[in-house]
Chain A
Amino acid sequence: MIAAPEYSFSFWLTLSVLVIPLVASLSCFSIKQKIGWLAPLISSVLLLIASILAIVLFFQVSNSAEVSYSWVWFTLNQKEIAFSILLDSNTSIMILIVTVISFLVHLFSIGYMAEDQHQVRYFGMLGFFTFAMLGLVMSSNLLITFIFWELVGVSSYRLIAHYQEKESAIKAATKAFLLNKIGDLGFLIGLIIFWSWSGTLEIGDPNLLRIPAFWLTAAGVCIFIGVIGKSAQFPLFNWLPDAMEGPTPVSALIHAATMVAAGVFLLMRISNLFTEDVFMLIAITGSITTVAGAIGALFQFDIKKVLAYSTISQLGLMVMAMGAGAMQGGYFHLLHHAFFKAGLFLGAGAIIHAMHQNHQSNLDAQDIRNLGGLRKKLPVTFISFAICAAALAGIPFTSGFVSKELILTQMTTWAGNEISWRWIVMSSAWVVTLLTPIYTFRLIWFIFFSKPQHQHNVEEAPVIMRIPMIVLATGSLAILSSLSPIHISSAINLLQHSYPEINSKVSLASIVIIGIALAAAFYIFKNQEVKNQKLITPHFYLDVVSNYFMVLTLKLSEATKGGDKLIDSVIHGISYLQITFAHITGWADRYLVDGFVDGIAYSAKGVGAITRSLANGKIQSYLLWAMAGLVIFIVWILY
């Protein structure tokens, strides 16, 4: 990477987009408690500025070519680690999405968190979260990416644990943190492999690919483990439903733009580093995740947990698509998903908020069995929620349909005509296409249509919460990214990729499947009273997996402790050996080497004394010795 010599307009734009959320965060943290009510306003305004700048930046980048900058941070053994930024159209649209959704979440939070005691901390962390994610998106050096990756993890941890007085929130945050750490460890090992073989961590550097095939695969797998942790893939996805303990807008941010999107984004960013085997692993992991998430969503009663499992399912779909080589489809779906999932969470937040405002009872406002019939009472929420849910289900004329079409088409092409393991992966995509409308319909039906169990005197959320929902619902319409709902090639050329032709058979088949699913769901749930719903523990194997991992982690820590002790004792022994050796060398030094030197000096002294004794100042003795020397000389001459 060669640093661009001149700092152009787009550079300053990029820098300000990155820095403004940080400024928002810092100003929130430094604000005095007395004027704490200012914090939400300040950070929202700053985020608005940032998102406007991001829009400008997006058009700037899509007009001109890629933007890349690089500053050397430090040099290690003549290898450089640089703060480098690489902006192409993929990155800039991600920046756009992150800032816009973050701004909308900020706006929503003003209403949602109005009565919260710790608003200042909350908004500060939101800003920091956004900053970390933007840094992750912009950086093109894997080490810097990793640093921001960890920052994203830390801020999500803080935000999940926002309700500190709830023990479950603390536990959920800790779980999220720990499960993420497993993944991060993999990421770190991957980085180490890359560094030790190629000596560079620049994403665009061709040297990264010139390492032995085995190690390339190993590094790819390790980095993918990081993605598994961050993007809640099988088997590390259990933290995501638990993370619902955080405030609902945070869930919107985590699920849409920041936390879980980071993993999928990274997959897209470094996809050129993966080998065939890694792609296979990615596809299989994604397919397991997507089916497991969809099944999990079917059995949940907590409105937010349904959404959480659907996120897992959709993330699995994206990861699977990327593993199958459908990079564009997966990435496109990530962007669309950001919009409709944020919209769904904000809608859920609005419902919960309305129920809480009600003060009516101590009902669990998040349990969909307690809701029902809210359609007429919360019309705005209902419409925006329904549009976003339609996008999630992949109903035509929504954005979800467009990107799902792309994924299904590319998957079908990828699976080929011959039956192989790829068919299993592909079929899971179809299974999810079938399952998603069912659980989406179930959610909508229970919240808005079914006969209410209790009388709710709820009121619509305030305007400041309605606006973000309306914006996100509009963003979930297909019209924003593609003029024709079925044919993606007419998409506004957002990503500057050429899209493959959509197979009309695939489109037709998916429409049929979605129709069947909706009809079936309608038939299943229409006459079913909510109370008749069997209380199925939806965790089935998930908890087992989770517990297994916890136990494994504990055992691992025990083992590492034992290993630590072993290493300790070995080091101890080595140090003892060293000390003994040092004593021996010290003795040898003192008595052998020093003695030798002393001996030489002593003998020199002795010789000197002998020679000196000749020069005793007595002329006669000098004479005698001179004579003796003469005699010796003569004798030597003669014989």
Chain B
Amino acid sequence: MSKTDLLFYLSAFLFCSGLLIAVTKKNAIVVLMGIELMLNAANLNLVLFNFQKKGMDGQLFALFIIIVAVCEAAVGIAIILKTYHYYHTSVPDQISDLKEKN
């Protein structure tokens, strides 16, 4: 098992744990953190794939994604803050406006 393969496993682990956090955690901020973890896993994958061929495009891609993810996280936190103001909670389970009205 080479070092790259181990890193692939790490990426998979990161993705899975990010998904787990995003799905199971109650607080919206923690969910956002889980999503960030999944993004990191994806970035790690991109960098690793770049090793297997010549060039820099994969790493640059990852760089762009990190920048976009920062913006996205900022937007996400802003949304969460707005939601908190509106609903007085940041627990997604307690917000059910997306569900059909009975």
Which A residues form the contact surface with B (CB < 8 A)?
612, 615-621, 623-624, 627
Contact = CB atoms under 8 A, between A and B. Distances in A.
B99 A620 contact: no
A617 B23 CA distance: 14
- In the A-B complex, the 3 residue pairs with the smallest Cβ-Cβ separation, listed nearest first, are A617-B99, A617-B96, A617-B98
A619 B19 contact: no
B23 A623 contact: yes
Interface in B20-36: 22-24, 31
15 contacts: A612-B100, A615-B99, A617-B96, A617-B99, A618-B92, A618-B98, A618-B99, A619-B98, A620-B22, A620-B23, A620-B93, A621-B23, A623-B23, A624-B23, A627-B19
B40 to A, nearest CB: 16
B22 A623 contact: yes
Contacts of A612: 100
A449 B97 CA distance: 129
Nearest to B93: A618
Contacts of B97: 617
A618 B24 CA distance: 11
B19 A620 contact: no
A620 B31 contact: yes
Contacts of A621: 23
B95 to A, nearest CB: 8
Contacts of B100: 612, 615, 617
Given A616-B99, A618-B98, A623-B22, 10 more contacts: A615-B100, A617-B95, A618-B92, A618-B93, A618-B99, A619-B31, A619-B92, A620-B31, A623-B23, A627-B19
Contacts of B96: 617-618
B14 to A, nearest CB: 14
A615 B92 CA distance: 14
B92 A620 contact: yes
Nearest to B99: A617
A620 B22 CA distance: 7
Interface in B82-102: 92-93, 95-100
A615 B97 CA distance: 11
Contacts of A623: 19, 22-23
A624 B19 CA distance: 8
Contacts of A615: 98-100
A616 B96 CA distance: 8
